[in-house]
Structure formats: C-alpha cells, structure tokens
Amino acid sequence: MNAQFGSAQLFGVWQLVSLDAIKPNGEATTGWLGAKPTGLLVYDRSGYMSVQIMSGPRGRSGQDQYYAYFGTFEIDERAQTVIHRVHGALRPDEVGVNYKQDFTLSPDQLTLLTARHLVDGEERRNRIAWRRIEESEI
C-alpha cells in the first residue's frame, strides 16, 4: 500500500451519505441502488478495505439489491486516487478487478468518483459520498 498522504486520514469506518450517477452534462441522477441506499466502507491500517451498500428504500418483496466486495487498497496522493483491489465480491466477475477512483477528503467526509462506464448507452460516473463514523458512534 502506498500510504504517505491520506492513509492516516482515510483509515476508519465510513457511513454512506449518498450515491449519485453523474451524466456527461454534470447532472446528478439517482444511483443504481435507489434514492436512499445505506452502506459502510472500511479502510484498516494493514491495507485492507471492504465496502457494503444496500439499496434504499427497502421493500418487503425480497427484491432488495446488495453490493459488496473486499480487498486491499492503494492511495496515490498526487493523483488524488484510491485503488480498490478486489479479492472477493458478491459478483464473481469483479474478483481480481482494480477499481481506480478519484477522491476528495476532508476530516469527516470522503467522496469517491468512479471511472466512466456506460449505462443504457450513456456515459456515467458514480459519485459516492461517505461520512466518517467516530469511535464514540460505534
């Protein structure tokens, strides 16, 4: 793990605040997990990470979506990127994938911006905002 800059600030548990899909014109739309998804992101000091996100609002139909993976991470301070190296995932095709994401970081907020991808033929990026969970909240 390249942990010069943000590692000390990035370590910890983060609670999902929002997940938006950003169109090429900058318009933010509801992300693929609904209007109010919930989730946790964990970065530990040994270089491991995990992310879990559940769709929201939840229904009783059993059709809820759940997204999760774990692995290691690497920070590039100069490029303001973090790479999630997926070791295990709910989706088997994600194992071995490296997700490079732009990030902005303040003491209590982390925003990740995913790589561009196509949704119904239109380019999108996911903007995922997280709030640090303090030890007193756990």
Q: Give me the half-sphere count of Cα atoms (radius 13 Å) on the Cβ side of residue 40.
A: 12
Residue 104 included in any domain: yes
Residue 18 included in any domain: yes
**Burial call 32-61: b when 16+ CB within 10 Å, e when fewer:** ebbeebbbbbebeeebebbbbbbbbeeeee
Place of tokens 């991470």: 73
| pTM of the complete model | 0.85
Confidence of residue 59 (pLDDT cuts 50, 70, 90): low
pLDDT at 6 over 70: no
Q: What is the CA radius of gyration of the chain?
A: 15
Residue 100 included in any domain: yes
pLDDT digits (tens, 9 = 90+) for 98-107: 999 999 998 8
Q: Return mean pLDDT, the chain.
A: 87
Residue 1 included in any domain: no
Domain enclosing residue 110, as ranges? 7-137
Q: How many domains does the chain fold into?
A: 1
Residue 2 included in any domain: no
Residue 111 included in any domain: yes
Residue 29 included in any domain: yes
Assign residue 132 the CATH number of its domain: 2.40.128.280
Q: Give me the half-sphere count of Cα atoms (radius 13 Å) on the Cβ side of residue 114.
A: 19
pLDDT top residue among 88 and 119 = 88
Residue 87 included in any domain: yes
